[in-house]
Amino acid sequence: MRKRCLFLAVSVLGVLGGCMNKTMADDAKSSATEFGLGPHELMQLQDRATHGDCPAALRVARYYSLGRNESVAAIPWLRRAASCGSSSVKAELVYLLVGSYPFSEIESEVNVLADEIERIDAALGMTVRSEIERVKKRLAR
């Protein structure tokens, strides 16, 4: 299940990468640069993220989710990054939540996020809604 969720998250990142809001873009040019953070750099990014720097929060989230395969540790950072309004980051958060927690625990949060995404980007919102519905159907079996 975790491998399938990680594959889904990486796939979504690939698709959403082209949709990234310019304000959320990072200077990272390679996966080693993006995910290979040293302790000092990680601490600096976490401090910046704690003080409202959304690109820093996104970088920390991806460090944990993709660099260390620690989705649960990534979620608080991704929530911070999503608070800046990027529909693609909100979608990334939905997929990470769905892959990390029992659906009943996160259903209301993912529905609110899906509503927000639909208001910003209707097509992406439909994609996220269909994934949520797919999860619901799978759980109903």
Q: Is the model more confident about 31 or about 81?
A: 81
**Do residues 62 and 28 make contact, with C-beta atoms less than 8 angstroms apart?**
no
pLDDT digits (tens, 9 = 90+) for 34-63: 677 889 999 999 999 999 999 999 999 999
Average of per-residue pLDDT across 101-113: 95
DSSP-assigned letters across all residues of 100-111: HS-HHHHHHHHH
**Percentage of the chain lying above the pLDDT 70 cut:** 76
pTM: 0.76
Contacts of residue 60, defined as CB under 8 A and 6 or more positions apart, other chains included, come to 37, 42, 45, 46, 49, 74, 77
Q: Name the 3-class secondary structure at 38.
A: coil
Average of per-residue pLDDT across 100-114: 95
- Matching CATH number, 2-8+30-140, of 3.40.50, 3.10.180, 1.20.1060, 1.25.40: 1.25.40
Question: Does position 3 have pLDDT exceeding 60, yes or no?
Answer: no
Average of per-residue pLDDT across 116-120: 97
Question: Does position 9 have pLDDT exceeding 90, yes or no?
Answer: no
Residues 64-97: b if buried by 16+ CB within 10 A, e if exposed: bbbbeeebeebbebbbbbbebebbbbbbbbbbbb
What distances in angstroms separate CA 7 from CA 10, 46, 56, 76, 96, one per listed residue?
5, 26, 23, 21, 11
Question: Does position 113 have pLDDT exceeding 70, yes or no?
Answer: yes
Which residue type does 4 have? Answer: R
